[in-house]
Amino acid sequence: MGRFQQLRNGKTCAMKILIIKTSSLGDIVHTLPALTDAKQAIPHIQFDWVVEESFAPIPTWHPFVNRVIPVALRKWRKNPLRYLLDGSIYRFLKNLRTESYDMIIDAQGLIKSAVITRLAHGFRVGLDKKSLTEPLARFAYQKKVTVDLSEQAVFRMRSVFAKALGYEMPDTKPDFGISQKKSIQNKKSKTILFVHGTTWPSKHWPDNHWIALAKLASQKGFTVKLPWYNEVELERVKKISEACPKVHILPKMSLDEIKAIMEQSWGVVGVDTGLSHIAAALNIPTIVLYGPSSPGRTGAVGEKVIHLTPNFPCTYCDKEKCYYEKKYHENAVCMTQLTPDKIISTICSVLSQNFISLV
């Protein structure tokens, strides 16, 4: 790291790092502890971060992020000519190239992130051929580091930053550095958020299971709140509400607003999706349901997270759709094995440890 330390008027200048990690929500959360590690090892370091515009609030939650540079790749690829002509792409490039960086770390490792890395000004670092899922990305980097893709995602990101910046990765628990409004947290709150939306069909928990769990939670005196993001999720929460009128459908919210709701709640029950990772990082009691995805590789990380997985022969298949016994299933068969009774039992067990009484 010595090559980046500069003296100006007798003082060490800040070491400026640009992070390229545009998506997805959970992957962005996984990257946060690496910033905490780096700051402890290099006190004068500061970070800018290129991130998909819909996820832009997340890096701002970490105190060591100086500037967030939103990008709209998901929108642009649908109609690139339109956004080229209206100046959106030009404005992003101008924003990206305003600074010259001591180091640019491509923490995404995809061709799209490698292109952004190449367009920015600075010394470019990324993964080597063996560590990339899209090996062509390696040609954008001036320094390449090796990681084990089978390692847990948070550990993997911490390793990438340590190798890129030249310090020993600390043997400590991950510190996500997320600022929390502790003054509004209510340890006795009996509100539970159901995080039901996810992009993979195989990760969904059946609607009838959510309905049954809502009824069981209501019987225990909980207030169940249902966030939603798109029309499909809105239809699901309406279905749950019709079957269990005691639940509360939240209005469509920003990530900052959902974070605030989480901070006021007892906990979260969710599938393997970004909001579950946020809850776990906030150290809120979080119960995450897994089937096709492995908590050992990409699971939510936190001091109060519980991973529930079924005992099923093809668990952790890593498939977006379920074709158990060569037949398509709208709900992954492994996910149906996680019953509402099992979930409510886990909630009660966690509650007893936190000395919160049940009705």
Residues 18-53 pLDDT 10s: 999 999 999 999 999 999 999 999 999 999 999 999
Element (H, E) at 124: strand 121-127
What's the whole-model pTM score? 0.92
Q: Do residues 267 and 244 make contact, with C-beta atoms less than 8 angstroms apart?
A: no
Q: Please confirm whether the linkage preceding 24 is cis (ω < 30° from 0).
A: yes
Q: What percent of the chain has pLDDT over 90?
A: 88
How far apart (Å, rounded) are the C-alpha atoms in residues 50 and 352? Answer: 42
How far apart (Å, rounded) are the C-alpha atoms in residues 267 and 284? Answer: 6
How far apart (Å, rounded) are the C-alpha atoms in residues 192 and 247? Answer: 10
Q: What is the dihedral of CA 47, 54, 126, 317, to 10 degrees?
A: 140
Rounded mean pLDDT, 96-109: 97
Q: What confidence score (pLDDT) does residue 90 get? A: 96
CA-nearest of 158, 120, 162, 156 to 141 is 120
Rounded mean pLDDT, 142-167: 96
Superfamily of domain covering 2-165: Glycogen Phosphorylase B; (3.40.50.2000)
CA 61 vs. chain centroid, Å, equals 13
How far apart (Å, rounded) are the C-alpha atoms in residues 125 and 107? Answer: 9
Domains 2-165 and 182-353 in one fold: yes
Element (H, E) at 63: none
The fold adopted by the segment(s) 182-353 is Rossmann fold (3.40.50)
The model's pLDDT over 2-24, given as tens digits with 9 standing for 90+, comes to: 444 444 444 567 899 999 999 99
For the chain, the structural domain boundaries read 2-165, 182-353
If one compares 357 and 178, the residue with the highest pLDDT of the two is: 178
- Whether 199 has a pLDDT exceeding 50, the answer reads yes
296, two tokens: 């050992």
The dihedrals phi and psi of 23, each to the nearest 5 degrees, come to -165, 175
How far apart (Å, rounded) are the C-alpha atoms in residues 129 and 135? Answer: 5
How far apart (Å, rounded) are the C-alpha atoms in residues 7 and 14? Answer: 10
Q: Do residues 319 and 346 make contact, with C-beta atoms less than 8 angstroms apart?
A: no
The dihedrals phi and psi of 156, each to the nearest 5 degrees, come to -65, -45
Share the mean pLDDT of the chain.
92
Rounded mean pLDDT, 315-327: 95
Rounded mean pLDDT, 305-330: 95
Rounded mean pLDDT, 309-338: 95
Rounded mean pLDDT, 73-80: 94
